[in-house]
A and B are shown apart, each in its own frame.
Chain A
Amino acid sequence: MTAATAGAAHAVRRAGLRPGVWLAGALVLAFLLLFLVLPVGRVFHSAFVEADGSPTLGHFGAFFSQGLMREAFANSLYVAVMSALLAAVIAVPLAYFTVRFDFRGALLIQTLGVLPLIMPPFVGAVALQLIFGRSGSVNLLLGDAFGITLPLMEGLNGIIFVEAIHYFPFILMNLTVALRNIDGAMEEAAMNLGCRGWRLFWRVIFPLALPGFVAGASLVFVKVFDDLGTPLVLGQTNLLAPQAYLRITQVGLEDPMGYVISVIMIVFSIMAMALSAQVLRGKDYATTQKGGASIQRRRLTPAGSFMAYAWIVVVLLVVLSPHLGVLLLSLAQVWSFSPLPDAYTLAHYATVFQDSSGMIRNTLLYCGLAAGLDVVLGVTIAYLMLRTTLPARQWLDWVATASLAVPGIVLAIGYLRLYKGVTVPGTEVLLTGTWVMIMLAYAVRRLPYALRSCVAALQQVHVSLEEAAQSVGATQLRSIRRVVVPLMAGGILAGFVTSFITAAVELSATILLTSAESQAPMSYGIYLYMQSVAGRGPGAALGVLAIAVVAVGTYLSHVVVERTQSRFQPAARENNA
């Protein structure tokens, strides 16, 4: 930060330490303690104690002396880094095209680009096996035509492939918002000085959008590092998350090693997050103008246009292949060792509507509430962190982010243990028997997504805008309400959407916390169906419905963002004139 802006930030911060700030901090802290720290602590206790309850570090020694564990650690790191890179290769051009150039299909890219996230990872991997696997459609066709097969789904490369396809939207969404928020004057200034093309992108535009990119890339990294479903479905076990899971969930064996791995994963994920914060430190990304004066859309040359479309088509085909796979599966009677199903039927959809329509409603309810809770918490934490001098405010961020690394099964066991026997006030119903617990688990597990988006959005709002509001007499609360939050709207919405759609596919905590089928959300239903030969069709049908529901929601919120932007537009133009 330059001296001038640092001073300005300081002025606002000093003004900012009011009782309201303390209260907000306390409420956030209470939430995190009650629904994250204490439950997880309850479980993690096991990693540090002997059978008789006395403390020990012996379990950690046992971990580090195992060659397999060191190998798993190295593999996890490799897969996470490579996935983030591949995801960036997919996402950066898409984000740049949609924001920078005037061409049709931008909205399509944005909506379709989100679709991978709404697929439960294990369903996505199953579907990708059907398309790209060893006897998948692509390889069967290639084998017939040319006698070759592509080992796309084999080994660690398979995981990287699936993860990059699954998580690149994190980068796409955050980067798109960041690019939109860049002040067009910066670009014009660079062009006045003779900077064009790639140089303009790499030296001016991309660096200005770096907070969004880093926010997205670090999410991809941590998510892949922590992901369980994909490696398991692909049969890869030499990674940390599968090792922890295999140990925690063995029949009749409470193995502390699983909890040790969980502790190590949490510590490492927090370190990765801290490192990404370190990269961004010492730089100021805030620009004073927003929205209306954003970088100008240009027309592409015919050749450029062709290249852009070609890339988009290739990416979309790959990205949509799991959805295509699930769609085919949902319509298939029998699909076995053939490029396409033998015969088609709509019976699976009938089964689903007959048995499971309540699940769609449950998903909307739980995930909507959880995502709402997440953006409120996210904005609060971002504001406390960047704009106030509240002591230990960074800790709120770190604690909230740590939940990324908490396996769902650990969080769920923590809830069941911590709230054992606690009833809802005034009734005899167990708290853990209500769906509120499922909703809270979603909110806690998806909070980091919303938080990152909110932080990136707030980083790009220059503090002088708030100062201006306050210098003409607005209170702090009013300036937040009328200036800061509206300017953050894009980021907030990105956070909401990310939280919502990823909560919609949460499975591990859901399975443990669902106490009646009538309370079950769709992800549970898909899992349930997918457990049997006759259930694969209905499971896929429910998956298609889940995708449709979330896609419509995402599209609607996108329309809202566009409208927000267009409302800013005329005013900005007047200012420029």
Chain B
Amino acid sequence: MPVPAATGSRGLAAFVQPAGHRRTAGRVPPCTRALARRALVAMAAVSALWAQPAAAGTVTVVTSFPKELTQAYKTAFEKAHPGIKLEILNKNTVQGIAYVRELPVGQRPDVFWASAPDAFEVLAGAKLLDNIAGLANKAAPAKVGNYPINNPDGLYLGQALAGYGLMWNTRYLAANKLPAPRQWADLVKPVYFGHVATSSPSRSGTTHLTVETLLQGEGWAKGWTQLLQIAGNCAAVTERSFGVPDGVNNGQFGIGLVIDFFGLAGKFSGFPVDFAYPDVTAVVPANIGLVSGGKNADEARKFISYTVSQEGQQLLYDPKISRLPILPPEAMGGKAPQGYPNPFEIAKRAKVQFDSDLSESRYNVVSALFDQTITFRLKELQAATKAIHAADAALAKKPNPKAAALLKDARDAAYTPVVDATKVADKDFLGVFAASKKDAAVNKRVTALEDHWNTSARQNYERARALAEQALALAK
């Protein structure tokens, strides 16, 4: 909707004028008239815009994807389908859900397009998605690894594939004389202390998948121990998932746990960064869905089929986008660039066969546990880890059995999750987190549990630090 120049300049006039105008003409009485006049100005300005109904054939897309991706699809789709216009509405996933949910039928956007599968589960649960199984590209395999590419109920389709891995800044590593990591397990090494960054599973669906992958690949107890050790080496737990690749790109962090296209796009855009898939990884689809109660469902269907068609999939190869197509490379018309990762190969090689039902069942527990024991207690966890690394180094030089025993206790205290594997398999326990927190009694139980985790974590880390310091003193 173009804003007429007149209203624009009126806004400008309102900006520069008040004091002078007021003083010379003595115009603004601080009550009714001025208020009414303001309202009139506003209304007049608005009325110029009212005259524009939502044009027929305009598909509104709510997405969390960056502008260079959406712009590429908008340009290509509008060229392929003259007469249909694409209006992109960029919101982060959470705000996108809130936006769709708060709008009445007939006023909603048409398409929802985002990475996190759980966002689509939320929309599906609220009956906000229409069945689009018929739009799926028949050339796409049913599964990548053993993860279904399209939603089995047909409520959303996989549009691109993504794996998780490690991204690092080559200049940063060189300056700090660090080797490039290859596996998750590398990140627990003392050399990486203070050089790693991650996001939180409660903030970013992609990080949740990474964490869950690790937990499924290594098992609950071992997985958490590794997570806690990595987190202890972290410089920060960022709020946005983009905060991690951004920090690695500009050299604030050395190494980040990221989704592949962040790393690949940085690399192909000329930043001194590199990316690798560790063996424990999972390949899962980013999705697209048709919002029920949108304005232009027919045109929206055309757009969705375009995004999963061969032509639409080829757009993903743009270096600025760097995402993996849902079609196997041989079905891409020979357009795959040299050295481009093949997601189906990675999925085959990957040790983890991702179980989405298991992930779904403990979703809130994993998120809350991560936040309470890592995000909110990062300072204490870092201090404990630093002390443990110091004692470890001293012991390597000058062995001492008593100190070694103390150090082992310190490690156990710091890196044992406060919820064990039997508890997290307990249906009643999981039920508490699945129930509506709007119920005060449920809320009280959940917050009491969270408080318990938080306090225990803090005590554990402080105890671990004290033990490690004792070990260090003995080994000196």
Contact = CB atoms under 8 A, between A and B. Distances in A.
Interface of A: 20-21, 23-24, 27, 31, 46, 49-52, 56-59, 61-63, 65-68, 126, 129-130, 133-136, 155, 232-233, 235, 237-238, 242, 246, 249-257, 333-338, 355, 358, 361-362, 364-369, 371-373, 375-377, 379-380, 382-383, 409, 413, 416-417, 420-421, 424, 427-430, 432-436, 439, 477, 480-482, 485-486, 489-490, 492-493, 496, 500, 511-512, 514-519, 528-529, 531-536, 553, 556-557, 560-561, 563-564, 567
Nearest to B174: A337
Nearest to B272: A336
A334 B205 CA distance: 28
B294 to A, nearest CB: 13
B169 interface: yes
Contact of A253 (B19, B53, B437): B437
B14 A338 contact: no
Interface in B423-461: 436-444, 447-448, 450-451, 454-455
Nearest to A489: B19
A48 to B, nearest CB: 9
20 contacts: A65-B444, A68-B372, A129-B247, A242-B239, A246-B371, A334-B269, A337-B172, A337-B250, A369-B11, A372-B38, A373-B42, A380-B30, A382-B30, A416-B99, A489-B22, A492-B19, A533-B245, A534-B66, A535-B67, A564-B20
Contacts of B205: 251
Contacts of B140: none
B119 A251 contact: yes
Contacts of A376: 28, 30, 34-35, 38
A533 B271 contact: yes
Given A375-B18, A413-B98, A515-B89, A256 B438 contact: yes
Contacts of B94: 249-251
B440 A62 contact: yes
B398 interface: no
A364 B18 contact: no
Contacts of B237: 235, 237
A365 B7 contact: yes
B443 A59 contact: yes
B26 A485 contact: yes
A95 B95 CA distance: 41
B355 interface: no
Contact of B26 (A57, A337, A430, A486): A486
Given A518-B1, A536-B249, 13 more contacts: A20-B32, A50-B438, A51-B442, A68-B372, A129-B252, A155-B379, A235-B237, A369-B11, A435-B49, A485-B26, A489-B22, A532-B66, A564-B19
Contacts of A24: 30-32
A82 to B, nearest CB: 18
Interface string B113-132: 00010110110010000000
Given A68-B372, A257-B443, A336-B171, A252 B122 contact: yes
Contact of B3 (A362, A436, A560): A362
Interface string B47-91: 001100100000010000011110100000000000000011111
B350 interface: no
A406 to B, nearest CB: 16
B30 A480 contact: yes
Interface string B9-37: 01111111011101100111111101100
B88 A364 contact: no
A358 B273 CA distance: 35
B90 A62 contact: no
B8 A361 contact: yes
A337 B271 CA distance: 10
B251 interface: yes
A516 B87 contact: yes
